[in-house]
Amino acid sequence: MNNLIPAYPSSEALPELPESARTRSGVEFDPRVDRWSYRDSSCNVSLNFTKFPPVTKSFMLASKLTLLWYAENMSQGYLMNLYGRFEHFLKTVTANCDEPLKEITSRELINFRATLGKRDSWYLGSLSGLLKKWHSLGYPGVTDDAITLLNQLRIQNNIKGEAVLTMDPENGPFTDIEVQAIHAALDKAMTDGEISREYYLLVYLYMLLGQRSVQYAALKVCDITVSRSKDGTPVYMLRIPRAKQRHQLSRSEFKDRVLIPKIGELLIQHAHHIRSEYADRLVEPSETPLFPAKQTLGNEPSGFKFHRVASSLTKSMELVVNNLNVISERTGEPLHITATRFRRTVGTRAAAEGHGELIIAELLDHTDTQSVGVYVEAVPGIIERIDRAVAIQLAPLAQAFAGVLIENESRAKRAGDSSSRICNPQFDASMKPMGNCGKHGFCGLFAPIACYTCYSFQPWLDGPHEAVLDHLIAERERLLASSDIRIASINDRTILAVAEVVRQCEEILNRSSEVAYV
């Protein structure tokens, strides 16, 4: 077989770069230029060879020829990651060299490995595939002894799942309380008109489905459909383009995802609106992207006109959620928002609900189960026991209480309106109110439990909040004994909200007694 591999001992013998190359999704570009820059499906590609340190002409040409193979046969995201690792390698091994690099030998590999710490030792593993492919193509620049060394080394893979296993508060999955806080803040921002329906839906899709940004960027209005079940109930379905599958074009294969009615109905409305808005700008309105760009740059591949790139959607989602200023009960700081954290949250919650690796791989659109075992092993981010002391301690960090504490009804927005009073004989036999609702109109939420996390709630300083807190903690213990932790923890954020009201009441009353004593 080796005698079939061409050998190119010098740059003069190397084949020339073609005038035009084509990616696997059909995008053409000129590989002869010093910077490869083009738009491929939902991804902007940029490989700048002028950033290479000094290398020989032969080495540069062989580098481009090898990377061209990846451009034509692999995903463009994989190509850019590989280029990034290769550029870093070259800058590292040539840092103290006076002459241009002409080839990669075992010496360069050993020196590079010595610069890597434990956490980034996988960089060499990432490069190994590139260098072996380079050598197998027969191009000069990677010596036989370099390949022999790579075959002998035990190269550590990228550390996978560490953030999930440790429930890292910066990069790991969100806790249930954090997710509920994002939901509440997002719904309020939508109600108050602070975010558009489009961005509201975009964030919800990240939270509910945990797919990659490149998949959301490839969505079209035709991908959202509604059907009817036998009893007439509407069933909303979103057809998600698959991503990160080797040898597969974007929008060539799909996975169907059922949506909750609230989001499904809004997505249908949004799709109709976007379709009509772009009707005179596209030949086929059904091809309108679900999250479109305001204008076209003219560099989109066929079928992707007005589609935004994945990085643009990621930035929009992160900006929207960051502006909500949601606080983590674990750190007391605003949540660190990334698309990956939502993805990890979907996997972790699925594992906590008892789903196995195959189901999680299906949910996250993996082709196998190699990367999903970590979710099954992860410890759910749920507090096993919550008593009054724990609740009071966590309450200020969680900031789950969204209303405003008032001294009495005279301070309420709807003072004198008896229908605004919130009371329940379960917590006070005399029907003493917990506080007032500052919102006009019908509310279908369960009062008073749901009130404590509502922005319209105005609890009274002398309301029976202790009784509500004791009830919720006792109910949690009862559910914990008769069911699992996830069922028992369903009201954890509400417990922290009530605890914050109790804490604020105690603080005010203590200050008053100190003043009276003085």
- The 10s digit of each residue's pLDDT in 371-420 is 676 666 565 555 667 888 989 988 888 889 989 999 999 999 999 898 89
The predicted structure's pLDDT at residue 515: 53
Is the pLDDT at 496 greater than 90? The verdict is yes
| CB-based contact 250:218 (threshold 8 Å) | yes
Is the pLDDT at 53 greater than 50? The verdict is yes
Residue whose structure tokens are 């580098």:
63
The predicted structure's pLDDT at residue 377: 58
SS3 assignment, position 435: strand
Residue whose structure tokens are 């213990």:
477
Q: What is the C-alpha to C-alpha distance for residues 245 and 364, in angstroms, rounded to an integer?
A: 12
Lowest mean pLDDT among 56-60, 116-120, 179-183: 116-120
Is the pLDDT at 187 greater than 80? The verdict is yes
Q: What is the pTM of this model?
A: 0.76
Is the pLDDT at 5 greater than 60? The verdict is no
Is the pLDDT at 9 greater than 60? The verdict is no
Is the pLDDT at 122 greater than 80? The verdict is no
185-199 average pLDDT score? 94
The predicted structure's pLDDT at residue 378: 60
The predicted structure's pLDDT at residue 287: 92
Range with the largest mean pLDDT of 6-20, 188-202, 298-312, 344-358: 188-202
Lowest mean pLDDT among 25-34, 41-50, 215-224, 478-487: 478-487
Q: Report pLDDT digits (tens) over 230-286.
A: 888 999 999 999 875 444 446 778 899 999 999 999 999 999 999 999 999 998 999
The predicted structure's pLDDT at residue 355: 73
447 pLDDT tier (thresholds 50, 70, 90): confident
Q: What is the C-alpha to C-alpha distance for residues 119 and 156, in angstroms, rounded to an integer?
A: 10
Is the pLDDT at 103 greater than 70? The verdict is yes
Q: Around 186, how many Cα atoms within 13 Å sit in the side-chain half-sphere?
A: 24
Is the pLDDT at 320 greater than 60? The verdict is yes
Is the pLDDT at 70 greater than 90? The verdict is yes
2 pLDDT tier (thresholds 50, 70, 90): very low
CB proximity list for 196: less than 8 A, separation 6 or greater: none
- Within the chain, all domains assigned CATH 1.10.443 are found at 176-327
| CB-based contact 250:41 (threshold 8 Å) | yes
Q: What is the C-alpha to C-alpha distance for residues 126 and 158, in angstroms, rounded to an integer?
A: 9
Q: What is the C-alpha to C-alpha distance for residues 51 and 344, in angstroms, rounded to an integer?
A: 34
Q: What is the rounded average pLDDT for all residues in the chain? A: 87
The predicted structure's pLDDT at residue 8: 54
The predicted structure's pLDDT at residue 247: 41
Is the pLDDT at 295 greater than 80? The verdict is yes
CATH entry, 176-327, from 1.10.3470, 1.10.10, 1.20.58, 1.10.443: 1.10.443
The predicted structure's pLDDT at residue 4: 39
326-333 average pLDDT score? 90
Is the pLDDT at 357 greater than 80? The verdict is no
Q: Which residue has the higher pLDDT, 326 or 384?
A: 326
312-317 average pLDDT score? 95
345-352 average pLDDT score? 84
Q: What is the C-alpha to C-alpha distance for residues 398 and 184, in angstroms, rounded to an integer?
A: 13
Q: What is the C-alpha to C-alpha distance for residues 332 and 327, in angstroms, rounded to an integer?
A: 6
Say how many C-beta atoms besides its own lie within 10 A of residue 181's C-beta. Answer: 25
Is the pLDDT at 46 greater than 90? The verdict is yes
The predicted structure's pLDDT at residue 429: 87
